[in-house]
Structure 1
Amino acid sequence: MDPQAAYMMPDPLITAAGQQFIGHYSQNLVHNTGGWIDRNLRPLFAVDDSYIVKKLGFILFPFAHRRWHGGHEEPKDNVVQPDLYIPLMSFMTYVLAAGYMLGLKDKFSPEQLGILSSSALACLTLEVTMMAVLFNIFNVKTWYSFLHYVAFCGYKFVPIIASMLLSLAFKNTGYYATICYTTLALSYYFLKSFHVAIEAANHENYDHKISRTGIYIVGIFCLFQPLFMFWLSYHLIP
């Protein structure tokens, strides 16, 4: 055998060791990923029909609600707990409703729907990222994780859909009236939920200044909700 060719052939021991390392790494990756999903993602989809109905009512009519403490229960056991099921389904429903509304205006096209979907995702991503960054910069602690921020920001698609549907029956009057009311409802829901979460996370070493800063940050996002909701829906109204 040519010495140079023999030199270039892989060592069986090295090959076996490499395969063993890759196999072990893959098993650890799957195990760790599965554990992360079980701990963080799966509970946010632990919902049932009763929870969905109650949560939609909670988002649209939060003013009469009395219990705001979430604890560590799954969403199906406590309507206060944020979930990812309703934001995901409401986003998909928003895209379908937008396609229907564009069709009514003879403006539907796959490209147009793609642009609208991308804009909605960009808006959501920007909002969630800014919330997480500001909380981190000002050292504001809450019971909520990054995925919970995604859930809260994704709830805006529920009132957007309601506004779009009512515009079909009541035109501009129904749209603007619904947008105004649901903006107030969503802002109240945001402020109340985060106020409780911030106080609960800092009850041992409560800092009034940090707590107030956290509420100010949430308040800023509440002020932007009408702009986001209007931007994502006004051009769809027939």
Structure 2
Amino acid sequence: MYDNPGTRPGMQGMPPLNPQSQQNPFGNAFYTAGPGLIRTGLGAYGEKFFGSSSEFMQSNISRYFSNPQYYFQVNDQYVKNKLKVVLFPFLHRGHWTRISEPVAGRLSYKPPIYDINAPDLYIPLMSFGTYVVLAGFTLGLLGKFSPEALSMQFTRGLIGWVLQFVLLKGLLYSMGSGEAPLLDMFSYGGYAFTGISLAIFGRILWRYSYYFLMPWMCLCMGVFLVKTMKRVLFTEMRTYEKHSSRHHYLLLLMAVAQFPLFFWLGSIGGA
């Protein structure tokens, strides 16, 4: 009687009813909104979690590591003045503290080109290269030059640099603070090669000058490191007690340790 047996009079043109939609009229709404809420919630939580993790990692990385480019922002004037401070610390009449500046809401320090007391890696690396070249030249004068001997001297220099780094870092830990950036300590340890290179060069010009220059360079490096470590502890770490005799003894021990280290690095070819 009707073309479609599933329709009744008066209901033509209307969509067929779904029994499930009649039983749960809110099901489709919750089904549609549920994944959106889950995605939004998980996305917000994930962004917060990974964002906080990223900030945590950046703060801790910057706490112990610094941007390497910072240590190479130097010019001729800085190098000349820094060498005077390292080789003749008694003549340094200015302060030993670094110049700070706020950057992105955090306290930072000006690069070496603007601050004579900032550490750099240019002078230590150039001094280390000069040390290796002078060591090779000395081996040649002694008739003991060979690639193996020069390689041994190069390795000795690297070991001495690492020992100096460990000494400075251990000093900070023993005083209750070791938060200084690693590249800062690596830079301070590398300044030793400036004095060692000068003493070796003096021995090439006049053999007996070595016995005067090397002790003087040891003394100057000891004074430079004591002044620098005091500044690091007092102004940066804020754990240095001005009247702590224990701290004074540790700083004195660090200065005395420069003598055997310098003479060991300056001993080339058994000379």
TM interval, short-chain normalised: 0.7 to 0.9
Match of 1:51 among 68, 72, 78: 78
Q: How does 1:184-195 map to 2 (within 5 A)?
A: 184-195=219-230
Is 1:108 matched with 2:140? no
Unaligned runs of 5+ in 1: 1-27
1:122 aligns with 2:159: yes
1:146 Cα deviation after fit: 1.5
> Given residue 116 of structure 1, which amino acid in structure 2 is its aligned partner?
Q
Equivalent residue number for residue 263 of structure 2: 230
Do the aligned residues in 1 keep the contact of 2:70 with 2:111 (CA within 8 Å)? yes
Q: 2:127 aligns with which of 90, 94, 102?
A: 90
Q: What SS does the aligned partner of 1:63 have?
A: helix
**2:144 match: secondary structure:** coil
| Cα gap change, 1:115 to 1:139, in 2 (>3 Å) | same
Residues 134 and 178 (structure 1), Cα distance of their counterparts in 2 relative to 1, 3 Å cut: closer
Q: CA deviation at 1:202?
A: 4.8
In the other structure, the counterpart of 1:196 is 231
Shift in Å, 1:227: 0.9
Aligned-pair RMSD on alpha carbons? 2.6
Paired letter, 1:169: L
Residue 120 of structure 1 and its aligned partner are, at CA, apart by 1.3
Deviations 1:25-72 (A, max 9, x none): xxx9xxx8xx97x95211111111111111111111111212211131
Superposed displacement of residue 222, structure 1: 1.4
Percent identity (aligned) = 29
| Structure with greater helix percent | 1
Q: Is the 8 A contact 1:101 1:237 kept in 2?
A: no
> Cα deviations across residues 10-38 of structure 1 (Å, max 9, x unaligned)?
xxxxxxxxxxxxxxxxxx9xxx8xx97x9
Residues 138 and 268 of structure 2 are in contact (CA less than 8 Å); yes or no, is this contact kept in structure 1? no
Could you report, residue by residue, the CA deviation over 1:174-201 in whole angstroms, capped at 9, with x for unpaired residues? 1011112111111111111111221113
Runs of 4+ in 1 over 4 A off after TM superposition: 205-209, 211-215
1:175 aligns with 2:210: yes
Greater gyration radius? 2
Across the two proteins, how many residue pairs are aligned to each other?
A: 201
Q: CA deviation at 1:235?
A: 3.1
